[in-house]
Structure 1
Amino acid sequence: MGVPNNDEVANLPYRQPVAAEHSVLHLLRAPWLIPLLALALGARLYQLTAAAIWGDEGSSLLLAQFPLAGIWFHAAHDVHPPLYFMLLRAWIGLFGDSIESIRMMSAVPGVIGVFLGTWLAHLIASRRATMLTCLLLALLPTAVRYSQEIRMYSLMGVWLLGATLALVYWVRAPQRRRYLAIYALLMAAAFYTHYFSALCVLAHWAYLLVLRAPFAGAQRYIARRDWWLANGAIVLLFLPWLPGLIDLVLHMDALEVGGDVGWEPAVTLRSMPSMLWQLMAQDDAEGMPLWLLLTLPGVLAAMMVYVVCTDRSRYRFATLVVLYSALPLLVLYGVSFVSPVFIERYLTAPALGLAIILALGIDRLARRFKVLALALLLAVLAVEGVGLKNNYTVDADDQFNDLVAYMNRHTQAGDQVVLGDMFWYLTWGYYDQSATAPRLYTPPTAAGVSTRPNSYGFGTLIDENAGVYLDHLQDLPQGNGRVWLVMSREAPDEFPSIPSGWRKIDQHAGGDTQAVLYEACHVPCGTR
């Protein structure tokens, strides 16, 4: 008798453990695994340091500088939980804070996520589908992009894929409670990494509800005491963070004032297909004709329907993968008509499932329509190739670090620096070598209302009593009479009014940002 494939294993009697030929050790012996994981690593290391650190990344580095208690406090006033920043602090302590090192903190989880997705496919599908999953995940553009940023999104994918794996193991062998213990720990870690991990839990509950329909034995899953205890354990593990989260929700207006929430664009009917293009090709497709805009989303939707309709296995694991991806997409899209949160990086972890769905669909098509399956695979790889090209395209003249490097070379002792935007403040400290303490320009509105950040969002990273904020340029101390103003290049609205006694003596652009050096004369310039 031949070795059963995974679909056949899924139809074996209830409480059937994972067969030896589908164990993780068997996967590790696959000759193609290491080359494809090396491809995943190479995709994430290529151009890893090409783009300068931007504002969100700078906030990660600033927060990671605090001691653990400080991270806990300040993250409670920010829009993200503390775990990633604590791990980043530990990572920097071990490997240093070079840009290569700190971005590796995301690249490594990105490769682990590829392996976990491959492991999941290995458990639920054929060998061919498993290899295709590894290939498509290795090259998935959104996964590569957020494996190259100093943010928590690739780590979030590790926790959520790991938890989904634990769920699969438990469904196969519900008497083995250790799988639920692992599930609870991974989901708790996910909640301490990003609040939208709740959407994965929602997908898991939806899966168990779907699972109970086909056969009577499945009723045990959604109603099992162990399942409820595991979810209760997740809540208990998250309880220490709950007061901070409640306080944050109560001060949502403070976050809106600082621009930390409420900046997201409103969604339209084009937003969903545009998002799918962004995830798969790093292109929002806004300039595409309607027929082309709908092509890729149509293929993805058809693959989801096809995978679900052909999922006749006992445990419906392919349906689980579809729910893992589709439900967060649909929920965030629907919610965004009320409060916009439909942002690519928030969907990077669910997007990992898209590669698995495509691999499952192509594998099943290949059983009857080999030419069609091959054409679809080549088309998907072409789209991913375009996405990688877009991701790697970095304008060397549009980098904030070059602007700061110019200032480092031309700054003199006693020079003062005033930044016109909080995002530049978040990034400045990483690149500055002049030891110049910058100020953040916060002019009152015409009605006299302060524009200083409050203690929530990015404002929590700044000590209000440290003399960082500057409401009026005239309030600068005399110093050596030289002031650098960092502002937008195209529309420098940050400094609509320059004191009449100031004379521009230098200017350097870094893409859409510029540094302008003024001689701040306290007597008419040129009379000294």
Structure 2
Amino acid sequence: MGVISNNNLDEQLFQRLQTSRNVLVRLVRQPWLWGIVLLASAVRFYGSTVSAIWCDEGSSLMLSNYTLSGIWFHAAHDVHPPLYFMLLHGWIALFGDSLASIRALSVLPGIASVFLGMWLVRLIATQRAALLAGILLALLPTAVRYSQEVRMYSLLGMWLIAATIALVYWVKSPQKNRYLVIYTLLMTAAFYTHYFTAFCVIAHWLYLLLLSTRNSVAGALIKRPAWWISNAAIVVLFAPWLPGLADLLQHMDELKAGGDVGWESPVDARALPSMIWQVLMQSEGTKIPGPLFWLAPSVLFAGAVWVAVRDNTPYKFHALIVIYTLLPILLIYAISFASPMFIERYVTFAALGLPLIVAIAVDRLLKHRRALAISVFALFLGVECVGLRGNLTGDVDRFDQLVAHVNQQFLPGDRIIVSDLFWYFSYVYYNKTNVQPMLYTPPTPEGLSGRPTAYGFGTLVNADGAKIYVDHLADLPAAQGRIWLVSSSVQPDDFAPIPAGWDKTQDLTINDTQVRLYLTCGADNCGRDPKGSLFDGSVHP
């Protein structure tokens, strides 16, 4: 069936098409769908191995190295549920831990989300709207970015879009409880992936509450026992994790002290439009002229509200997509005035709805205001392309080159000390020396211990703390020693003061990190390799 463009399409026929069980079958038979899936795959796989592993990704890899029971324990002390790390554990066992492999575990859910987004729009709107939604979702910069990180955000988006599809099917056919069973399993998987699934739950309940104001069969859905049983089942299935979550909440002060939570910047009035620019352009909009900075996000929000208000269909599915998208963003923004958490990756699952809303709006406008519809689509697509270009051509973190330099120059007996957990996890991933790097943990200015606590990132290193923590560089034995110091290149020096008698022989800076090689004894004693030749101090990035 071709793209639906007949302005005189009979509404009753359209409704029959939408409620047909063959929507998915007809959709997957469209050549354009697979072209869009190919486009989504290309932009997500392209460049997915260029940037080095960063701190959060490194922590994912370190956590996934534990057994499943170990992942359960350490994730309970971390700030995220365990499902993604368990999946990563199994993925690495099957496909290895190469950069291409581990990032593919995020790329694939990202591609699946594009397919699911088209399926969802096809269920609630025309085939043309599904086509437009697929194009815009395939190129959404924030979706592309977090499809290339070894983190759970791409997976979360896939679960929640799929759960929303299951909800749509159930609303259309409430007598078929199998859709609620699927919904329950998907939402449970989402909760075990990220706690912010709760915002999607609120959105779904608000949508059903909206339906309850209508005098129709759909208005009674929120009262159906099956819906309540489904949500109760989600709680029961998530219950095994609740003790760990409660324990984590009791130790929130330790998480804040370690910088695992509470590091986010406070929000202000500009934070909301800035987030929209970040999602669409991968830029906070600081260089955008003031009127445009405020106008474009305002028009986008107003357009979304227009889509919801003008939805006169019995099930108000367009309003569902608007609620799914805007409610989590607005709630997280509002909560951030008390406890900052308004970070792009935290709202990416909701931002996946923006292309769907624009596609539905453009599809409507094409019937009566064709020029305006084409302009809206072209502008949104153009902004996305600017953001996507920034993703593909922006600054690339080459921390891997710094570690490769140490791997190349490393001699038996060398010691490696990393100044901060932010670099430590990444270093461990690239380390090929078979020597465990140490972590610099100087006391705070108040004289308190600088070592990580047992919560947050600290849970991943505390077990080996006796071996890896270095509170004072001067405590290290000086004789027969070469020490590599890895730190930020931004002043002040993380390791200052360097002990007297240490002789720096190398200093390599890449991006915002540096590695320095110090001899803690005379070159005649510790500057020779195992074959007896004097190390020449040359640098080979």
Query: TM-score, with normalisation over the residues of structure 2?
Result: 0.93
1:505 aligns to what SS in structure 2? Answer: strand
Cα 1:8–1:480 change in 2 (3 A) is: farther
Encode CA deviations 1:292-328: one digit per residue, 9 max, x unaligned: 2113202311221221122110000000000000000
1:268 aligns to what SS in structure 2? Answer: coil
1:368 aligns to what SS in structure 2? Answer: coil
- Bigger mean CA offset, 229-238 vs 515-524: 515-524
Counterpart code for 2:361: G
Q: Distance in 2 between matches of 1:502 and 1:148?
A: 41
Encode CA deviations 1:123-166: one digit per residue, 9 max, x unaligned: 00011101001100100100000000000001001110011000
2:446 equivalent to 1:447: yes
Q: Distance in 1 between matches of 2:426 and 2:294?
A: 38
Residue in 1 that maps onto 2:532: none
Q: Distance in 1 between matches of 2:251 and 2:218?
A: 43
Matches within 5 A, 1:96-111: 96-111=96-111
Q: Distance in 2 between matches of 1:64 and 1:369?
A: 52
2:496 equivalent to 1:496: yes
1:10–1:314 contact (8 Å) kept in structure 2: no
Residue in 1 that maps onto 2:513: 513
Q: Distance in 2 between matches of 1:211 and 1:11?
A: 18
1:6–1:125 contact (8 Å) kept in structure 2: no
Encode CA deviations 1:400-457: one digit per residue, 9 max, x unaligned: 1011111111111111111111011111111111122211101112332001000100
1:340 aligns to what SS in structure 2? Answer: coil
2:405 equivalent to 1:406: yes
Residue in 2 that maps onto 1:208: 208
Residue in 2 that maps onto 1:249: 249
Counterpart code for 2:135: L
Shift of 1:5: 6.6
Q: Distance in 1 between matches of 2:11 and 2:197?
A: 29
Counterpart code for 2:20: A
Cα 1:240–1:35 change in 2 (3 A) is: same
Residue in 1 that maps onto 2:327: 327
2:479–2:520 contact (8 Å) kept in structure 1: no
Residue in 2 that maps onto 1:350: 350
Counterpart code for 1:86: M
Cα 1:84–1:9 change in 2 (3 A) is: farther
Counterpart code for 2:414: D
Q: Distance in 1 between matches of 2:354 and 2:140?
A: 9
Cα 1:6–1:20 change in 2 (3 A) is: farther
Residue in 1 that maps onto 2:361: 361
Q: Distance in 2 between matches of 1:10 and 1:39?
A: 29
Q: Distance in 2 between matches of 1:447 and 1:186?
A: 48
Residue in 1 that maps onto 2:419: 420
2:295 equivalent to 1:284: no
1:180–1:230 contact (8 Å) kept in structure 2: yes
2:480–2:521 contact (8 Å) kept in structure 1: no
Shift of 1:351: 0.5
2:230 aligns to what SS in structure 1? Answer: helix
Residue in 2 that maps onto 1:473: 473
Q: Distance in 2 between matches of 1:419 and 1:239?
A: 39
Encode CA deviations 1:12-58: one digit per residue, 9 max, x unaligned: 7xxx982155x211100012011110000001011111100000000
Matched pairs, number: 522
Q: Distance in 1 between matches of 2:152 and 2:68?
A: 17
Shift of 1:218: 2.6
Q: Distance in 2 between matches of 1:62 and 1:479?
A: 32
Alpha-carbon RMSD across the aligned residues, in angstroms, is: 2.2
1:20–1:26 contact (8 Å) kept in structure 2: no
1:9–1:19 contact (8 Å) kept in structure 2: no
Cα 1:479–1:141 change in 2 (3 A) is: farther
Encode CA deviations 1:228-272: one digit per residue, 9 max, x unaligned: 000000000000000000000011011001100000000010000
- Structure 1 unaligned residues grouped into runs of 5+: none
Matches within 5 A, 1:33-182: 33-182=33-182
- Bigger mean CA offset, 300-309 vs 311-320: 300-309
1:7–1:124 contact (8 Å) kept in structure 2: no
1:404 aligns to what SS in structure 2? Answer: helix
Q: Distance in 1 between matches of 2:127 and 2:31?
A: 12
Q: Distance in 2 between matches of 1:408 and 1:394?
A: 27
1:441–1:470 contact (8 Å) kept in structure 2: yes
Counterpart code for 2:427: W
- Bigger mean CA offset, 280-289 vs 124-133: 280-289
2:52 aligns to what SS in structure 1? Answer: coil
Residue in 2 that maps onto 1:19: 20
Cα 1:113–1:6 change in 2 (3 A) is: farther
2:480–2:525 contact (8 Å) kept in structure 1: no
Counterpart code for 2:285: A
Q: Distance in 1 between matches of 2:360 and 2:317?
A: 11
2:415 equivalent to 1:431: no
1:467 aligns to what SS in structure 2? Answer: helix
Counterpart code for 1:198: A
2:222 equivalent to 1:222: yes
Q: Distance in 2 between matches of 1:5 and 1:59?
A: 54
Identity %: 52
1:362–1:376 contact (8 Å) kept in structure 2: yes
2:485 aligns to what SS in structure 1? Answer: strand
Cα 1:117–1:166 change in 2 (3 A) is: same
- Structure 2 unaligned residues grouped into runs of 5+: 529-541
Encode CA deviations 1:345-401: one digit per residue, 9 max, x unaligned: 0011100000100100111111111111111111111100011011112435x4110
2:18–2:124 contact (8 Å) kept in structure 1: no
